Structure 1
Amino acid sequence: MAQEACTVVALRLTPGQDLKQALVALSQREGIGAACVLTCVGSLSTANLRYAGKSEGATLERPLEILSLVGTLGRGGVHLHLTVADEQGQTLGGHLLDGCLVRTTAELVLGVLPGVIFDREPDPETGYLELVVRSEP
């Protein structure tokens, strides 16, 4: 699928905001059909992650640096992975869940893909809602 240049959206989240909820709200409010996270730096006071192969999340409540946030946003929802480091430099990462609260700041840059829709549909092989890429009508 040929692709036009993306539109860049930059934003800053402030203390207490929920990282995932803010991204979902932005995507819905702006009618974003498809986007990817280009970069994210900042800190969290609480991180809520789901580790590989687990059904429930794990909550970390301490100062954490955001090392990376990667993933996709679209009409069908979001699929985001977060890596954080604690005060000892130990890193943890997993699926971003609701409840990741900004400590001082979260500076995000998103690439919005024109003419593309990211949907999610059940995949019988994985049992999860998986990405389906469509051209915008």
Structure 2
Amino acid sequence: MQTLPVRLRPGDDLRRALEAVVAGQGVEAAFVLSGIGSLRPAEIRLAGAEDVLKIDADCELLTLSGSIAARASHLHMSVADAQGRVTGGHVCYGCTVRTTAEVLLALLPAWHFAREFDPGTGWAELVVRRRGEA
């Protein structure tokens, strides 16, 4: 495992930028160990929901965690609004960094992450393989 601290800049799409950083390292699997910063807007899919909640206001990124892979990322976050109300859920594309996002990644160069449909859950779930395995 290798760690990589990353700072994302204003205007970056949080999820796309992290996926690009991991891909740019030539790695197919990574985890977010920690993430803080600010967003506007924040786009979150809540538990069990199909629609995306868009918070078009300044938000503090309190927590960020999950796995990252090309077309297979699964990230969760919690954000707080200006009144301190906290909302959390799945990170969607469209979360835009407002001032900064400071993220610590764990790169896993020996592994490959993918998502495959799991009939037991009804969702595309994480499949972990050693890199180079079919």
TM range (shorter): over 0.9
Whether 2:54 is the aligned partner of 1:59: answer yes
* Unmatched runs of 5 consecutive residues or more in structure 2: none
Aligned equivalents of 2:130, 2:32: Cα separation in 1: 20
**Which amino acid in the other structure matches residue 129 of structure 1?**
A
Equivalences for residues 68-79 of structure 1 within 5 A: 68-79=63-74
Shift of 1:45: 1.5
Shift of 1:55: 0.6
Alignment match of 1:18 (pick from 13, 26, 32): 13
Aligned equivalents of 1:135, 1:81: Cα separation in 2: 24
**TM-score normalised by L of structure 2:** 0.92
Alignment match of 2:110 (pick from 95, 115, 120): 115
**Which amino acid in the other structure matches residue 86 of structure 1?**
D
Aligned equivalents of 2:9, 2:71: Cα separation in 1: 26
Aligned equivalents of 1:20, 1:136: Cα separation in 2: 23
Poorly superposed stretches of 4+, deviation over 3 Å: none
* Unmatched runs of 5 consecutive residues or more in structure 1: 1-5
CA RMSD of aligned residues (A): 1.2
Shift of 1:92: 0.1
The aligned counterpart of 1:3 is none
Q: Could you say what secondary structure the match of 2:106 adopts? A: strand
Question: Does the 8 A contact of 1:43 with 1:102 survive in 2?
Answer: yes
Question: Does the 8 A contact of 1:68 with 1:84 survive in 2?
Answer: yes
Whether 2:39 is the aligned partner of 1:41: answer no
Shift of 1:93: 0.4
- Provide closer, same or farther for how the CA distance between residues 99 and 76 of structure 1 changes in structure 2, counting only shifts above 3 A: closer
Question: Does the 8 A contact of 1:41 with 1:66 survive in 2?
Answer: yes
**Which amino acid in the other structure matches residue 61 of structure 1?**
D
Question: Does the 8 A contact of 1:76 with 1:118 survive in 2?
Answer: no
